[in-house]
Each structure stands twice: as structure tokens, then as C-alpha cells.
Amino acid sequence: MGITIDIKRILRDFLEKRGFDVRLNGTLVGYSGVKHKFDLVALKGDLTLCIDYASFDIVSFLKVYLKAVDVDYARIFLLVEEKFRECIPSELTETRKLKLVLFKDHEDLISKMENELASLEQSGNTKSFRYYPR
């Protein structure tokens, strides 16, 4: 995994402007007791967002999927460049706690993340299920 420094900074600034406390390369403890590292962890009230970037290999996708299962109390976003769409296993396109965000460039990514946050706020579904210390 590993998101580029530019994308990390852009996402950090985007989320901080919206009132989130953002940790680059943050960790959360899963139900299993395992500490999971994410490219970004953002906290705001009861809401915990975790953001990871995956390239085209299946192992990266599976790692994020397994983290999403273990860290079920957070909202997990998997960022994937649009050019890798065909490489994504159908089982990972949408799960209960893992949201796939396909993007073309930085502007497209921010636009899609704005839509995701707005959707969370509109639905009133901004509470994470359970919080574990970082």
C-alpha cells in the first residue's frame, strides 16, 4: 500500500478543514487485538475514518479487506486509481465497512471524498460502531 506524499497531504488538509484530527500512517487496534496501520486515520467526534491506497495487486486489496473486517467500528475507504478498475475483485467493490473510491486525479479524489462525507452527514450515519485507542 502506501499513498503518495502529495495525496496524503491533500487528503490531510481536506479533512482538517472539515474539523477532523488527522494522523498520517495512523494505527487502530482491531477486535482481534492486532494493531492495523492505515495511510490516514481521521477522527471527528464519534466518527473514525481510515483511508488506504492500493495499487493493482490482489494482495494489497486483501490486506485492506481484512483490516476492514477487524476494524469494523471505523469507516474504511480504499483509494484506487481508475486505471486499475479491472484488477479489483468484485468482492471488494463494496462491503458493509469498506468503501472503494476510484479516482482519476487529485481533484477527482477530493470531489469524491466530499461526496462521501456529505453522504455520511445526510444519512446521519456518522457514528462509528466502536472506538479503540490508536
Digit-coded pLDDT (tens) for 41-97: 999 998 999 999 877 677 877 888 889 989 988 999 989 888 887 777 666 666 666
d(CA 94, CA 96): 7
State the sign of the Cα–Cα–Cα–Cα dihedral 106, 7, 85, 95.
negative
Question: Is residue 12 assigned to a domain?
Answer: yes
Question: Is residue 54 assigned to a domain?
Answer: yes
Note down the domain range covering 98: 5-123
d(CA 12, CA 17): 9
Question: Is residue 32 assigned to a domain?
Answer: yes
**What CATH number should be reported for the domain holding residue 117?**
3.40.1350.10
Q: How far is CA 50 from the centre of its chain?
A: 4
Nearest to 81 by CA among 60, 50, 105, 117: 105
Question: Is residue 69 assigned to a domain?
Answer: yes
Question: Is residue 131 assigned to a domain?
Answer: no
Mean pLDDT score across all residues of the chain = 83
Question: Is residue 129 assigned to a domain?
Answer: no
Could you tell me if residue 25 is left (phi over 0), alpha (psi between -120 and 50 degrees) or otherwise beta?
left
Overall domain count for the chain:
1
Question: Is residue 128 assigned to a domain?
Answer: no
Nearest to 75 by CA among 83, 84, 64, 86: 64
